[in-house]
A and B are shown apart, each in its own frame.
Chain A
Amino acid sequence: MSKFYLPPQGGIPLSRRRFVQGLAAGGALLGLGMRPRPSYADQLRVRMGPQVLRGSRFDLSYSPTPVNYTGKERFATAINGSVPAPVLHWKEGDTVTLNVTNHLAEDTSIHWHGIILPSSQDGVPNISDGFMGIAPGETYSYRFPVMQNGTYWYHSHSGFQEQTGAYGAIVIDPLEPEPFSYDRDYVVLLSDWSDEDPNAIYAKLKKLSHYYNFRERTVSESVAEIEEKGWSGFWANRGMWNEMRMSDRDISDVTGYTYTFLMNGVTPADGWLGLFKRGERVRLRFINAAAMTFFDVRIPGLQMTVVAADGQYVEPVSVDEFRIGVAETYDVLVEPHDDRAYTVFAQAIDRSGYARGTLAPDPSLVAEVPSLDRAPILTHGDMGMAMDHSMHDMGGMGPGQQDMPGKGENEPAMGAMKCGAAMMAGMDHSQHDMAAMGQAAKPSMGSGGAGYGTAQPVSYDAVRMGPQVDMLADAAQYRLDDPGVGLRNNGRRVLAYADLFRLGPTDDPREPGREINLHLTGNMSRYMWSMNGIKFADAEPLQLKYGERVRINLINDTMMNHPIHLHGMWSDLETGDGKKIPRKHTAIVQPGAMLSYLVTADAMGGWAYHCHLLYHMPGMFRKVVVS
């Protein structure tokens, strides 16, 4: 049990420290020899994160590498003996060659996440053109021109190797000057480490899907709710969950019960270190390389200006906090004006733990670590319940106030009303409620034009129902200005997708020629995941015509956030301005919500298209063929 419950350090109650804090100065002492008392210099080296490789020719090598994050030695599927793998620093316009040697006992691969390249170089075994993976003992040479700049990452696309350390950052210097300046530049790569074999994690989830969830509703909470609302209010709120056999506490499938959350491979106990001099402007390149964990990131005392999303420039937006889904990247600028330390705090979405780092003018300084927020609770809106339902709940009090008293958490309905008007079939009855809120002069979301989402009502015809699908979101809506469960009305300015606009004009201003509806489906208790109710093994590839502009509507019929990643082509996220459509490679579809993006099918061949949560991926996956 010591693995799971380390003695408390500092003033945070034990219950808040349930996640695996990690072993101090132990984590990534790779190649330093496991001395019992690492020297100060060693400790500092550990805290600085992985090495950086520059150039256009790289030799990368997978080998089983001992790591120790928790007091127990485990073997990572490390690249060049390092977790995370080295930062690869490229230049836009170069052609890079990457020789990847496999010293593991099983097949492996590397996928260059977010990089526009030929299908044959994309690195997904049996999906990418002609690529079958890299067999043990073999070396595979990737070679492709670098046609973009920004922050990206790379990882294994074989089995569950991503969970065991096969990931690293990519930084690409631009040809043209950047639209902002900075004095320091740091990669902040977030990940989740478990001492358990990932196959064992997957098996446990199949046998008991809430295995890792220790935030379930207890009897005393129900009693308190009954005292507050009376029996009728309690049943009105609980009824839907009980009838559907769903848990409103189901935020993360795998939690801090088994995970140690890492920042640049450094445990929370040590904390990654980034140095600055007072008055400098620091660029932080956040990458979520976790297998299963969404992080909510903030730096108490500093405003963050988001300047790029998924490697692509966006109109600068200042925030206190942002949610980063698995596989997303955000570049932010911060300007520390004081000679003091700041904590880079990345709490897991379910608040079962955090990754931590320090920005400081001196390595000896540390800042206070904030306590974890209260664990989020899903609302009816997160289940895609019809608007009229939540309108009744709301009474005159504003969204969700009656639903979630004292929880600091609102129904997402407000956001839906602002951007979701006129877009969904089931909404007619609440139209007049919203008319009172006023409509913007610009086309609204759901008006059908490029950048504004589909005008068609959500259709469920394509979903194959059966034991593999446990729910449909009967009123999925765009919730672009909803920061997501656990972040609503928390008193901080939180980034939402509605804040993202491309810096510069839309790349492909064409209207979509057709629309594809994809439902994200699953059965939580059987732990089965699929698209349109059909898992990858049974699905036909999705066919795109070369050159076409297509709209993909993603409807989330589950209660989990799914980060959906399309390989090879940009996902042009429709956030409400046709002239400035931001490009992403991975987009979060919130529970019970809908999201649309436009895709220009300008890359021939076979591509992977999937949920980037590692244990959802085997089922919630499609092959896309552009021909």
Chain B
Amino acid sequence: MKKAFFGLVAVLMLPGLTHSAGGDDPVLTKVMIDQLEVRATDGPDPWVLDAQAWVGRDLQKFWMKVEGEYLDGNATEAEVQALYSRAIAPYWDLQVGWRHDIRPDPSRDWLAVGFEGLAPYWFEVEGAAFIGESGQVGARLKGEYEWMFTQRWVLSPELEMNLHSKDDEEVGVGSGLSDLQLGLRLRYEVRREFAPYVGVNWTRKFGNTADFARDEGEDTNDVQIVAGVRVWF
């Protein structure tokens, strides 16, 4: 699987060899750490990372998406996606690839098919369907908005929900709407690429997912104060 993706990267690079330098469409790289934050809870405070990177050209890119949660020095959640992304409309990219959940144990592999873009009224939207092993099907929807209070103070509400077709008790996932996350973060853009923020994050687990969490002694309804940085380059 990995080989396939590196092969894809090579294909993306190839046109660069045929066009002379100074063309309109150079190969660029962007790394975006949307969230690197600590969340204040009653117990030990988890660190959360939500980051993406791409390499490619205007209309075709290779994407990596990483999400993780660290608690007491252990990764409690870790997910990596490797995607081929192709622009299909002025504001929309189609993304196809592989998702690998490293944590929780045991790991899970998925085929990912999704889209990402900017909806009318400036909503940043990301949606994906995941086809897992043994017929499991997952879906994820993310939305984000940005209110500019000044040219540098930005308030950003966001929403994420995950759905699954079946129970997967080993990793604590229940069928139906599994979890919902609502966040509100206020950042200050010291410069475009660097913005510290504070915010609040509400997470709620539903149905069997909530039951599995309760069995493990975890919260199913949690409001956390968060602080972190948003960085890109």
A interface list, Cβ under 8 A from B: 1, 126, 158-160, 199, 202-204, 206-208, 211, 214-220, 242-245, 467-470, 523, 525-529, 535-537, 618-619
Query: Beyond A219-B148, A242-B121, A243-B121, is A467–B88 a contact (Cβ under 8 Å)?
Result: yes
A618 touches B22 (CB 8 A): yes
In the bound complex, how far is the Cα of B59 from the Cα of A527, in angstroms?
11
Shortest Cβ gap from B14 to chain A (Å): 15
C-alpha gap A215/B30 in the complex (Å): 24
Contact of B217 with A by CB under 8 A: no
Residues in B173-227 with C-beta less than 8 Å from chain A: 191-192
Q: Tell me if B17 is interfacial: C-beta within 8 Å of chain A.
A: no
Q: List 11 extra interface pairs beyond A203-B26, A218-B149, CB under 8 A.
A: A126-B20, A158-B22, A160-B22, A211-B192, A218-B148, A219-B149, A242-B120, A469-B90, A526-B87, A535-B25, A537-B25
Contact A618/B24 with A206-B58, A467-B90, A470-B90 known, Cβ cut-off 8 Å: yes
Contact of B19 among A1, A215, A528, A537 (CB under 8 A): A537
Q: How far is the CB of A254 from chain B (nearest CB, A)?
A: 13
Q: Of A158, A527, A537, which is within 8 A of B23 by CB?
A: A537
Query: Contact: A159 with B24, CB < 8 Å?
Result: no
Q: Which 5 A-B pairs have the closest CB atoms?
A: A618-B24, A467-B87, A619-B24, A470-B90, A242-B121
Asked if B151 and A215 sit within 8 Å, CB to CB, the answer is: yes
> Which residues of chain A are within 8 angstroms of B91 by Cβ–Cβ distance?
245, 470, 525
Known: A220-B149, A469-B90, A618-B23. A207 touches B59 (CB 8 A): no
Q: Given A214-B151, A218-B148, A523-B90, is A245 in contact with B24 using a C-beta cutoff of 8 Å?
A: no
Q: Is B11 an interface residue (CB 8 A)?
A: no
Closest to B32 in A: A207
Asked if B118 and A245 make an inter-chain contact with CB atoms under 8 angstroms apart, the answer reads: yes
Task: Give chain A residues whose Cβ lies under 8 Å from the Cβ of B120.
Answer: 242-245
Mask, B138-150, CB within 8 Å of A = 1, is 0000000001111
Q: Is the CB of B23 within 8 A of A207?
A: no
Nearest to B155 among chain A residues (CB) is: A219
Confirm or deny: B1 has a beta carbon within 8 angstroms of a beta carbon on chain A.
no
Contact B24 A535 (CB under 8 A): yes
CB-based nearest A residue for B54: A207
Report B's interface with A, CB cutoff 8 A.
Answer: 19-26, 28, 30, 58-59, 87-92, 118, 120-122, 147-151, 155, 191-192, 232
Q: Which residues of A lie under 8 Å from residue B59 when comparing CB positions?
A: 467-468
Chain B residues in 8 Å Cβ range of A207: 28, 30, 232
Measured between alpha carbons, how far is A159 from B89 in the docked complex, in Å? 29
Q: List A contacts of B122 (CB < 8 A).
A: 242, 245
Q: Which residues of B contact A1 (CB under 8 A)?
A: 191
Contacts of B20 in A (CB 8 A): 126
Interfacial chain B residues near A126, Cβ < 8 Å: 20
- Is A208 within 8 A of B148, CB to CB? no
Q: How far is the CB of A221 from chain B (nearest CB, A)?
A: 9
Contact for A525 among B25, B118, B121, B150, CB less than 8 A: B118
Complex A-B: 6 CB contacts under 8 Å: A206-B58, A216-B148, A218-B149, A467-B59, A537-B23, A537-B24
Bound Cα distance A467, B88 (Å):
6
Alpha-carbon distance between A206 and B25 when the two chains are bound, in angstroms: 9
Instruction: Evaluate contact between A528 and B150: CB separation under 8 angstroms.
Output: no
Q: Which residues of A contact B150 (CB under 8 A)?
A: 218
**What is the chain B residue whose CB lies nearest that of A243?**
B120
Compute how far the CA of A619 lies from the CA of B22 in the bound complex, rounded to whole angstroms. 11
A-side contacts of B30, CB under 8 Å: 207
**Which residues of chain B are within 8 angstroms of A211 by Cβ–Cβ distance?**
192
CB–CB B28/A203 < 8 A: yes
In the complex where A206-B58, A211-B192, A245-B122 touch, is A467 in contact with B24 (Cβ < 8 A)? no
Name which residue of chain A comes closest to B24, CB basis. A618
Contact A216 B151 (CB under 8 A): yes
Q: Within 8 Å CB of B148, what residues of A?
A: 216-219
- In angstroms, how far is the closest chain B Cβ from the Cβ of A151? 29
B154 nearest CB across to chain A (Å): 10
Within the complex, the shortest CB–CB distance from B146 to chain A, in Å, comes to 10
Residues of B within 8 A of A199 (CB): 26
B117–chain A nearest beta-carbon distance, Å = 9
Collect the chain B residues with CB atoms within 8 Å of residue A618's CB: 22-25
> With A219-B147, A243-B121, A618-B24 in contact, do A468 and B58 touch (Cβ < 8 Å)?
yes
In whole angstroms, how far apart are the Cα atoms of A126 and B191 in the complex?
A: 39
Interface centre among A1, A245, A527, A529 (most CB of B within 10 A): A245
Residue in A closest to B91 when the chains form the complex, CB atoms: A245
Complex Cα distance A214/B59, Å?
A: 27
Which A residue sits closest to B92, measured CB to CB? A467
Complex CA gap A219/B151 in Å reads 10
Closest-CB distance, B100 to chain A (whole angstroms): 26
Do B58 and A529 touch across chains, with their CB atoms under 8 A apart?
no
Instruction: For the complex, give the distance between the alpha carbons of A208 and B192 in Å.
Output: 9
**B191 — nearest CB in chain A belongs to which residue?**
A1
Q: Roughly how many angstroms separate A231 CA and B20 CA in the complex, as a whole number?
A: 52
A211 to B23 alpha-carbon distance, docked (Å):
21
Residues of A within 8 A of B121 (CB): 242-243, 245
> Across the interface, which residues of A come within 8 angstroms of B149, CB to CB?
218-220
Chain B nearest CB: distance from A533 CB in Å?
11
A215, A242, A467: most-surrounded residue (chain B CB, <10 A): A467
A9 to chain B, nearest CB (A): 22
Q: In the bound complex, how far is the Cα of B151 from the Cα of A220, in angstroms? A: 11
Give every chain A residue within 8 A of B89 (Cβ-Cβ).
467
How long is the Cα–Cα vector from A535 to B58 in the complex, in angstroms? 12
For residue B88, which residue of chain A has the nearest CB? Answer: A467
B22, B30, B89 pick with most chain A CB within 10 angstroms: B22
Q: Bound state CA distance, A527 and B20, in angstroms?
A: 20
A206:B151 contact, CB within 8 angstroms: no
Report B194 CB to chain A, min CB distance, Å.
11
Taking a contact as CB atoms under 8 Å apart, the answer to whether B22 and A159 are in contact is: yes
Q: How far is the CB of A208 from chain B (nearest CB, A)?
A: 6
Taking CB atoms, residues of chain A closer than 8 Å to B192 are 204, 208, 211
Whose C-beta in chain A lies nearest to the C-beta of B119? A245
Are A206 and B28 neighbours in the complex by a CB distance under 8 Å? Answer: yes
Q: Which residues of A contact B118 (CB under 8 A)?
A: 245, 525
What residues of A have a CB within 8 angstroms of the CB of B21 in the complex? Answer: 159
Please state if B58 and A528 are interface contacts (CB–CB under 8 Å): yes
Residues of B within 8 A of A244 (CB): 120
Closest chain B CB from A17 CB (angstroms) = 15
